[in-house]
Amino acid sequence: MNSKHRILVMSHAHPDFSLGGGEIAAYNLYKAYRDNENVEQAWFLARADRRRGLTGAISMRRPNEYLWEQSVYDWHKMKAAHQDSLTTWFADLIRALKPTIVHTHHYAHLGLEYLRIIKQIDPSIKIVMTLHEYMAICRNNGQMIKTGNFKLCSRESYDECNQCFPDKTAEDFWLRKHYFQSHFKLIDQFVSPSEFLRQRYINWGLKPEQIVVIENGQSDEPTLPARQLSKDETRNRFGFFGQINPFKGLNVLLEALHQIPEDERNKIVLEVHGANLESQSAEFQEQIERLREPLIKQGVVQWVGPYQPHELRSRMAGVDWVVVPSIWWENSPMVIQEAFVCGLPLVVSNIGGMGEKVRNNIDGVQVPAGNILEWAYTLKKLSSYQEEWQTLKSAINTPLSYKQCAEKHIDLFFPWASSRLEKPIYQQLI
């Protein structure tokens, strides 16, 4: 029997159209599987990002890469909009490819039902799911933040969920949880990029042995040389990279800069390499505009704008610090590992995966999440660093590469290669 794996990687989006961390991690892992000697064949299936009406069809993007015109009509229970497509297009693809492993990275925009279709077609196919957020636990887009006031949630609560979504009863949330769990029983192995997220899902109901931690892989590149300083210059350039929305905390950074006396603020530069501000609410856009305009005029903020993945290293080469001021739990922000690849210390909020990935005063600095005065104090203090910055930089550990990430997953799959017909785990759990 051929012991090599045949792996279908699934994602809620294709990085050709969407540059979120989850889809980029999924796509890079697919390419690393494809190049691994223990993998016979690898494919990538992503939700199609169509502006026209979705049909449920599956089409080829390029060899071994497919786009699925699927969507979700019921976000409360994550039900797929195109039910017929599950038993036709999707089922036919699984039968044609004959994967031994389906490694899925999401169910948003896809629904949960495809998990059952896979097992119905061939119960010996192993399903692995990487959890990138808390969507099964939290109806509020998986962010575990109260609607309306941005207060953090530490755990699920049917009554409190009802307060966030008054149109759903506590009983509705009980049913939601058990609907998710009934589909999660079909999954043979869960992977989490952080211990923080792993513990959240154990508290929610997963068994500890069901979920392991494997960090997302990164490009295998050398660190960047430190930015050249002129005489008496300090490490005073900070960079914000990523999405601009109310959860990412850019408004906290801008408010903090306003709290610093002008003569000291002018010694600091914040570069904003951000995208999708125009997609946010009018209220949030107005807040950012009000905060950034005077800072841009003073030269304290440089609004650089969005970037493509291949531009990231050249942009990071111009800053000394990468800042991640998110006010939600964050699982494992891709920008943290990307900064470490470049050899840059980070300044992050002290919660969730951020507090786990960045060691305070070792390879970066942690700041109380959402605390404007503490962020102001920290930005002012760090902007005077020179030797201290070098000490933090020298302690950075090289992140896992794409190849190493794939190898860790394949080690996880090892028992399945020689025992493809064993009783599926989901049958043992039922």
Domain ranges of the chain: 5-217+401-429, 237-394
In this structure, what are the phi and psi dihedrals at residue 237, rounded to the nearest 5 degrees?
A: -105, 120
5-217+401-429 matches 237-394 in fold: yes
Looking at domain 5-217+401-429, its CATH superfamily turns out to be Glycogen Phosphorylase B; (3.40.50.2000)
pLDDT tens digits, one per residue of 367-383: 999 999 999 999 999 99
**Which residues, 6 or more positions from 6, have their beta carbon under 8 angstroms from its beta carbon?**
39, 40, 41, 42, 97, 98, 99, 100, 101
pLDDT tens digits, one per residue of 169-226: 999 999 999 999 999 999 999 999 999 999 999 999 999 999 999 999 999 999 999 9
Looking at domain 237-394, its CATH superfamily turns out to be Glycogen Phosphorylase B; (3.40.50.2000)
Reported as a pLDDT band with limits 50, 70 and 90, residue 3 is confident
Determine contact, residues 315/241, Cβ cutoff 8 Å: yes
Average pLDDT over residues 149-163: 89
How far apart are alpha carbons 114 and 110 in whole angstroms?
8
Is beta strand 364-367 parallel, antiparallel or unpaired with respect to 126-130? unpaired
Find the length of the chain.
430
Return the biggest CA–CA distance within the chain. 72
pTM: 0.90
pLDDT over threshold 50, residue 20: yes
DSSP string, 159-228: HHHHHH-TTS-HHHHHHHHHHHHHHHTT-SEEEESSHHHHHHHHHHT--GGGEEE-PPPB---PPPPPPP
